[in-house]
Amino acid sequence: MKNGALFIKVALLFCFMTGCSFMNEQQEISKPATTLIQRQLTSEGQDLNNRMLIIGTGDMTGVYFSLGQSLSNMYEKYNGAVSGTQVTDASIENTELVSRHRAEIGFTSVDVLDLPETDKSKLRALTALYSNYVQIVSTKQNDIDSLDDLVGKRISVGTAGSGTRLIAERILLESDLPTDQLNLSYLSFSQSAEALRNGTIDAAFFSSGIPNNEIAFISKQTELTFIPIPGDIIERLQKQYGVYTHNEIPKDTYRGMKKNVQTISIKNVLVTYKEMSDPHAYNLVKTLYEHLPELQHTHPAASDISITEATKQVPLDFHPGAVNYFTEQGIIGNQ
């Protein structure tokens, strides 16, 4: 699927350049192609005109993917870019793709950026975004109400390249549960939801903006249990890593919730590679904030994106082009 998405984009670029036409059937391209002349007449930011722009996202049912598609549409509409999304395993894979110039921008989380193995010298931040909430979900029939109840259970902790797996394994490690009595699987959001529905797993970790589309869907089909993260574990994670925030999943997030659920949240960041030109980076950020309502209309999680918070809680150097934009807006001083 990942390679297919990239192939579609390359084919699309070829057709733009040669004048052929495309049926608008690709999931990653949500509007018909326009000619380069039309783009030149309508684009507000011509420095990205005809530039190939790949956005690393995540699972097709996740917030990264939804917002990535919206950004792709915005960069085509307002900047004339030939833009598309790539389905990935999310945060960790996205940083790898961007650092190797296999994607121009990508969604990631601050705990992934803070990993020793993340080569931050190759990456630059464009802006902080919204926060992911750790959601540990089971079905009511499994009688799982706490982390201790996970012993002997079948648990999905997310895919190998995801921030979900990173935080799930950290939580389980801090919980001191016997690892030899945890039956772990590494499923995507959609796979985890399906496995919960058919009973092949007992619980699943989701680290995403809220509401998560898959959780929302299954909450309409079966009664769910949301497992809280104990305060002492949250404190230890905060002390050890410094990038996690004590938070709650509001009780009105999903059908059937009776109370707020204690958890942690993790800030998301939009990143690019160090070599991105200053004008390109500037316009990527400018378009995002000048047309933020369009992004916020895509998913409720984007309502937490605010320019006043754009440079906070990001353990990565900002791209000079982004710094220029935020300086103009009075968010940061000259750097």
- Compute CA distances 169 → 134, 174, 178, 280, 307, whole Å: 12, 9, 13, 37, 32
Average pLDDT, the chain: 89
Q: What is the rounded distance in angstroms from the CA atom of residue 164 to the CA atom of residue 147?
A: 16
- Compute CA distances 231 → 83, 178, 245, whole Å: 43, 20, 11
CB 80 within 8 A of CB 39: yes
pLDDT band at 37 (very low <50, low <70, confident <90, very high): very low
Q: What is the rounded distance in angstroms from the CA atom of residue 317 to the CA atom of residue 109?
A: 14
The per-residue pLDDT for range 271-303, each reduced to its tens digit, is 999 999 999 999 999 999 999 999 999 999 999
Q: What is the rounded distance in angstroms from the CA atom of residue 141 to the CA atom of residue 323?
A: 51
The per-residue pLDDT for range 228-284, each reduced to its tens digit, is 999 999 999 999 999 999 999 999 999 999 999 999 999 999 999 999 999 999 999
* Domains within the chain, CATH numbers bracketed: 2-131+267-328 (3.40.190.10), 133-266 (3.40.190.10)
Q: Which of 45-59, 80-94, 120-134 has the lowest mean pLDDT?
A: 45-59
Q: The whole model's pTM is what?
A: 0.85
Nearby residues of 239 by Cβ (< 8 Å), 6 or more positions away = none
